[in-house]
């Protein structure tokens, strides 16, 4: 049982690196749809992901068409500030995909319109355009995992009670 995080044309390597780190920590797969706004070899991407890159299931696609061709019929949710439903109002099934758009433009409008019922948003105050992409991914990813009972994740810390 896993969650799949999908980034459509990400532009900022540090965001993608931070998202890779969240994926490594949770067991989520990371799917990157190009063109990317940076090189996979980018030093900022590697630095932001720290030494977790070998713990991430990473997939790359040249286009949305290629991505949809490989994942036809799978449950996909689309994150957008324009959605009417909030991210906590949907039920995330095991092995679902949660797609996020590029930092400067989000997901394509036609894609959102075609998938209106599966569009989700994070509530924000009036006048705020958006959250940082890596923060948005973490918020929605952990809600999906919470609904699933945090599969495969450590539920209790190691802190001892004071005596």
Which residues define the annotated binding site for S-adenosyl-L-methionine? Answer: 101, 122, 130
CA distance 69 to 64: 8
Beta strands in the chain (DSSP E): 4-8, 29-33, 58-61, 76-79, 85-86, 97-100, 119-121
Q: Which residues are annotated as a binding site?
A: 101, 122, 130
Q: Is 157 exposed, middle or buried (0-12, 13-18, 19+ CB in 10 A)?
A: exposed
Q: Give yes or no for a cis peptide into 35 (omega within 30° of 0).
A: yes
What is the DSSP-derived secondary structure letter of residue 106?
A: B
């Amino acid at each position: 049982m896993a969650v799949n995080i999908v980034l459509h044309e990400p532009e900022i390597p540090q965001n993608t690196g931070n998202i890779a780190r969240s994926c490594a920590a949770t067991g989520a797969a990371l799917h990157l749809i190009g063109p990317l706004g940076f090189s996979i070899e980018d030093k900022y991407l590697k630095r932001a992901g720290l030494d977790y890159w070998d713990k991430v299931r990473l997939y790359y696609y040249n286009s949305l068409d290629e991505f949809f061709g490989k994942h036809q019929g799978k449950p996909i949710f689309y994150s957008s500030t324009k959605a009417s439903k909030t991210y906590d109002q949907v039920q995330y099934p095991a092995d679902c995909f949660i797609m996020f758009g590029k930092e400067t433009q989000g997901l394509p409008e036609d894609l959102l319109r075609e998938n209106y019922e599966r569009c989700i948003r994070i509530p924000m105050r009036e006048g705020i355009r958006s959250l940082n992409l890596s923060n948005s991914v973490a918020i929605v990813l952990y809600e999906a995992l919470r609904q699933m009972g945090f599969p495969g994740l450590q539920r209790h810390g190691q802190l001892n009670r004071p005596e």
